[in-house]
Structure 1
Amino acid sequence: MLTKTVHSSTDAYTNFTRKEWASLAYQASVSLTDEERTQLQGINETVSPDEVEEIYVPLTELLYMHTKHSVNLHNDQNRFFHRETKKVPFVIGIAGSVSVGKSTTARLIQALISRWPNHPKVDLVTTDGFLYPNHVLEERGLMKRKGFPESYDIRKLIRFLSDIKSGRKSTEAPMYSHLTYDVLKERTQHVEEPDVVIVEGINVLQVNKKDRRISPVFVSDFFDFSIYVDAEEENIIKWYVDRFKVLQNTAFQDPNSFFHRYRHLSKSEAEDVALSIWKTINGVNLEKNIRPTRHRADLILTKGEGHRVEQVEVKKS
């Protein structure tokens, strides 16, 4: 039987109920249209106007404060050093379990940040593209540990972030296909002179403890602000199974889909397969590698049923 996971808060965080957090917004006029919200929400997710106004507007207002502080510090340092250097991008990391809604959170934040008064250029990069290609994972016997720390090319990810933070005008990130379940060989994402970069992935707050070959530089070292999206595991499992069922009748029907073999499963068979994948791969990864990074985040969004954020925790500064 699945037991309920209790995530105790620590004294390092200030806790806000949904109502308390919603009361912090002072630019409630900033919102998204129904069409925009529909485009940004994930499979089996519904992003309501209340979710945007009560959770994500205050969150992006907090991020705006942090970026202003970063710009002011940069300008002060320029005056102190008698140099005129360009401000490097502000980098936001977003972590959390498979199926918890990280991608939707990232897209909502990207959309709202782009509406700030200075209209910054905001790029969103997912770490899926930094997974080793399937043929490498197969050679190393890691296909059943895809998403675990050892399945990522962390050196490449750190080089990418180092390029971003060094102020390079243009850099590239590898791209990933959820249809073929593999890194795309000949397609890359061009990141050119962004003001803000959002880096989203299950691994972004991990610390590479198991690989001594990697230098003691962590992905999170390049973040100016980090967010962990959380929920009780029983909810995440439900969202994962529901998403699997939707994909079975849509993407899995495509002959090019890595999961094409599951297209004819009955509803009960599809649920059994999804639960098996969760139990043997995603659930293990969550328990051993993802959830332990929760308290490395600057802010924690805790969701309840229906992906509705019920609590926000902000690390004290």
Structure 2
Amino acid sequence: MPYTDVQFSPYLTFTRDDWARLRADTPMTLAPHEVTQLSGLIEELSMDEVEEIYLPLSRLLNLYVAAQQELDSVTTTFLGRQASRVPFIIGVGGSVAIGKSTTARVLKALLARWPHHPRVDLVTTDGFLKTNAELERLGLMDRKGFPESFDLPLLLNFLAEVKSGVAHVEAPVYSHFHYDILPGQNIIVDRPDILIVEGLNVLQPAVLPKNGSAIPFVSDFFDFSIYLDADVDVIQHWYVKRFMRLRATAFRDPGAYFHRYAQLSQEEAKERALMIWRNINLKNLEENILPTRPRARLILRKAADHRIETVALRKL
């Protein structure tokens, strides 16, 4: 039988209700005011979403962490070395405006309340973008967020050091207000139990050399990966809505990089948001981000109201 005729999916797909039942007896550890604080700019997180989606996911991740720690212990015993705990790294990917930051924040809060891994850090790959000055020099300002706009060696070295158990690993800080890397500022990752890495292209594979030389991928350092998914027209709506919300808030500050957009009329601002979406973010989604979806361990599929409607877990 031709391969193209084989009906096969490496994923088990769950409805919202089926997934919610996998919470089992996992306790709710977040208060309503904490859930409100974790909400995004245009995404109002609900207690139901945490209880039905994120608590089962935190239970699954807790089991993965425990299994990985046991495997690390077995490996160090085999090698005759002193056991040392290696950080469990979770990658969270997906389009601009899809809610990656909200998902990462919720997981950080929930996972930190499990007794065996209380130290959970969160890093975004925005900090590993090339500076605006460098992007201007390379002619890449209109491709900011595309794979080539990141300092990939810096990101790979950061992940390698974290995964090797190095203490006090530095990561650059990115400011959305200034739309640039903040010079001289860093965050420190100091041997956490879990590190969550959130970004657009975290599941992007490298271009493999024909001579078989080793080329690391960012996702090589992940123990678990999550992709946030939704229809493209829905993401476009969210992007424009977020742009308009920022236009009425952060962009009004004269020091903001995008202050000029606050001066536009309502219609002009919507047209500008759509132009940016179509010319930059949609292209990046179609060319670089969406093709990485099948590489994720878990896919969270969102409806137009931001509620996660299905969960797909890779079985192979």
C-alpha separation between the residues in 2 aligned to 1:158 and 1:12? 28
Match of 1:205 in 2: 203
SS, match of residue 115 in structure 1: coil
Q: Does the 8 Å contact 2:91/2:225 carry over to 1?
A: yes
Match of 2:170 in 1: 172
Match of 2:102 in 1: 104
Match of 1:253 in 2: 252
How many residue pairs match? The answer is 308
Q: Does the 8 Å contact 2:117/2:193 carry over to 1?
A: no
1:270 counterpart = 2:262: no
Q: Does the 8 Å contact 2:29/2:113 carry over to 1?
A: no
* Residue type of the alignment partner of 1:254: D
Question: Bigger CA drift: 158-167 or 28-37?
Answer: 28-37
Q: 5+ residue gaps in structure 2? A: 1-6
Q: Render the CA deviation track for 1:49-93: whole Å, top value 9, x for unaligned.
A: 000000000001100110110111122223323321311100000
Q: Does the 8 Å contact 2:69/2:86 carry over to 1?
A: no
* Residue type of the alignment partner of 2:274: L
C-alpha separation between the residues in 1 aligned to 2:58 and 2:174? 27
* Residue type of the alignment partner of 1:114: A
SS, match of residue 83 in structure 1: coil
* Residue type of the alignment partner of 2:19: W
SS, match of residue 116 in structure 1: coil
Q: 1:75 to 1:215 in 2, by over 3 A?
A: closer
C-alpha separation between the residues in 2 aligned to 1:244 and 1:10? 40
Structure 1 position 209, deviation (Å): 2.7
C-alpha separation between the residues in 2 aligned to 1:296 and 1:186? 35
Match of 2:312 in 1: 313
Match of 2:3 in 1: none
CA RMSD in angstroms comes to 1.7
* Residue type of the alignment partner of 1:263: A
Q: Does the 8 Å contact 1:149/1:208 carry over to 2?
A: no
* Residue type of the alignment partner of 2:58: T
Q: Does the 8 Å contact 2:77/2:83 carry over to 1?
A: no
* Residue type of the alignment partner of 2:84: K
Structure 1 position 34, deviation (Å): 2.0
Question: Bigger CA drift: 18-27 or 50-59?
Answer: 18-27
Q: TM-score, normalised by structure 2?
A: 0.94
Q: 5+ residue gaps in structure 1? A: 1-8
1:23 counterpart = 2:43: no
Match of 1:193 in 2: 191
C-alpha separation between the residues in 2 aligned to 1:262 and 1:228? 31
Q: Does the 8 Å contact 1:129/1:174 carry over to 2?
A: yes
C-alpha separation between the residues in 2 aligned to 1:108 and 1:237? 23
* Residue type of the alignment partner of 2:138: R
* Residue type of the alignment partner of 1:37: V
Structure 1 position 26, deviation (Å): 1.5
Identity %: 52
C-alpha separation between the residues in 2 aligned to 1:107 and 1:41? 9
- Pairing of 1:66-145 with structure 2 (within 5 A): 66-145=64-143
1:38 counterpart = 2:49: no
Structure 1 position 210, deviation (Å): 9.3
C-alpha separation between the residues in 2 aligned to 1:85 and 1:172? 24
* Residue type of the alignment partner of 2:217: F
C-alpha separation between the residues in 2 aligned to 1:107 and 1:231? 19
* Residue type of the alignment partner of 1:305: A
SS, match of residue 118 in structure 2: coil
Match of 1:64 in 2: 62
Q: Render the CA deviation track for 1:227-256: whole Å, top value 9, x for unaligned.
A: 000100111111111110110011101111
C-alpha separation between the residues in 2 aligned to 1:197 and 1:132? 22
C-alpha separation between the residues in 2 aligned to 1:82 and 1:216? 29
C-alpha separation between the residues in 2 aligned to 1:215 and 1:253? 48
SS, match of residue 305 in structure 2: helix
C-alpha separation between the residues in 2 aligned to 1:57 and 1:91? 18
Q: Does the 8 Å contact 1:95/1:201 carry over to 2?
A: yes
Structure 1 position 10, deviation (Å): 5.5
Structure 1 position 211, deviation (Å): 9.9
Q: TM-score, normalised by structure 1?
A: 0.94
Q: Does the 8 Å contact 1:31/1:57 carry over to 2?
A: no
Structure 1 position 118, deviation (Å): 2.3
Q: Does the 8 Å contact 1:28/1:53 carry over to 2?
A: no
